[in-house]
Chains A and B, each alone.
Chain A
Amino acid sequence: MHLSILYDRLRWEEKALAEEANKIGLTVDLVDAKTCPLELVGDDISKIPFGDVVLERCMSHIRGLYYTAILEKEKIVINSFDVLLKTSNKLLTTLALDKARVPTPRTAAAFSLESALEQADRMGYPLVIKPVIGSWGKMIACLRDKREAEALFETREMLHEPLQQIYYLQEYVQRPPRDIRAIVIGDKLLTAIFRYQPEDDWRTNVARGGYAELASLEKEQEELILKAANAVGGGVLGVDAMESERGLLVHEINGSVEFKGASSVSTVNIPKAIAEYALEKAKK
């Protein structure tokens, strides 16, 4: 069996995936999405020696998403276009979670500065604003009052970027100084960690200096995480949830999950499990 790992910047994760896939007998190649154009019309893809299955691991959501759309003409891609579409866009993730009745923070979308301010008043402060596309906590802000909201919304308006004109507003959930990152592969919750926020930040992203600790979840919490993964279509996913007075609230699902932080504390071999899942998919 032949596995291709599609990347645009080789991280620790992609190297670990290639190593573990080799160990279980897969032929592995690393394909740089930046340097491998594809013909959209005809059967060009079948002539390019992509593997039986492709692991999409681009750091750019947009690049990975559209590359997957093309590859799916001929190949099995993990994760699929539909899953990547839902997970790379927080607004679509929220809709999918809500449709599946997975508890998630109160969230609204507004499409102008004025309506965003009105909606913020309705929801009350403090309030969190997030870009609909983006990761690592980039450009996420906690707005303590209307003055801060006005300043930030005006700045976003001046950016003249269409996606920045979507005001994705979310309640500020009272939680312990940590959240949960669970790694789900297929129908299995492989491992979960607590991500603690650093002393000087309210965000818990490991990319922002958050640190990891192995988490032991209750059965109901695990079921909820799996339900959330299923809500976006399943695959290899990083499900993020917060502990609140209302129980666990799922707030984000990552479709191209980074697992270096989780691997540093987890007792399971995450890249090996992903490689085995890819092998299983290739055999079907």
Chain B
Amino acid sequence: MKTACEVCGGEVEVPNDAIKGEIVSCPDCGTEYEVIEIKNGTASLKSAEEIGEDWGE
């Protein structure tokens, strides 16, 4: 599955086995997207959250 990057228009590849919540990134500009839905072979993406001060393990 492919979708256009909102930032640079590049082609963001979403693996066929991707699931909701996974992160994909634009190979051209590096913008990260979160997969929010996969329906009828089409992936819906939204900008992923930026790394926060409290992120980690």
A interface residue numbers (CB < 8 A to B): 7-10, 14-15, 30, 32, 34, 59-63, 88, 131, 133-136, 138-139, 161, 163, 207, 238, 254, 256-258
Collect the chain B residues with CB atoms within 8 Å of residue A161's CB.
53
Q: Does B13 contact A (CB under 8 A)?
A: no
Contact A32 B21 (CB under 8 A): yes
- Given A8-B49, A9-B49, A60-B52, also A135-B21 (CB < 8 A): no
Cβ distance A65 to chain B, nearest Cβ, rounded Å: 9
Cβ distance A39 to chain B, nearest Cβ, rounded Å: 23
Cβ distance B31 to chain A, nearest Cβ, rounded Å: 15
With both beta carbons as reference points, the residue of chain B lying nearest to A163 in the complex is identified as B53
Write the B24-57 contact mask toward A (1 if CB under 8 angstroms, else 0).
0000000000100000000000001100111111
Contact B22 A254 (CB under 8 A): no
Contact B20 A62 (CB under 8 A): no
> Most chain-A CB neighbours within 10 Å: which of B22, B48, B57?
B57
Contact A10 B21 (CB under 8 A): yes
Question: What number of residue pairs across chains A and B have CB atoms under 8 A from each other?
Answer: 60
Task: Choose one: A34, A62, A133, A238; the contact of B57 (CB below 8 Å).
Answer: A238
Count of B residues near A, CB < 8 Å? 14
B interface residue numbers (CB < 8 A to A): 19-23, 34, 48-49, 52-57
- Given A10-B21, A32-B21, also A138-B56 (CB < 8 A): yes
- Given A9-B34, A9-B48, also A61-B54 (CB < 8 A): yes
- Given A9-B34, A9-B48, also A133-B22 (CB < 8 A): no
Contact A257 B57 (CB under 8 A): yes
Contact A135 B22 (CB under 8 A): no
Collect the chain A residues with CB atoms within 8 Å of residue B48's CB.
9
Contact B57 A30 (CB under 8 A): no
Contact B23 A135 (CB under 8 A): no
Contact B57 A136 (CB under 8 A): yes
Task: Choose one: A34, A136, A163, A238; the contact of B55 (CB below 8 Å).
Answer: A136
Collect the chain A residues with CB atoms within 8 Å of residue B55's CB.
59-61, 134-136, 138
Cβ distance B38 to chain A, nearest Cβ, rounded Å: 13
The 8 lowest CB-CB distance pairs between A and B, nearest first, are: A135-B56, A10-B21, A258-B57, A61-B54, A254-B57, A59-B55, A62-B54, A136-B56
A10 to B36, CA, bound (A): 11
Collect the chain A residues with CB atoms within 8 Å of residue B34's CB.
9
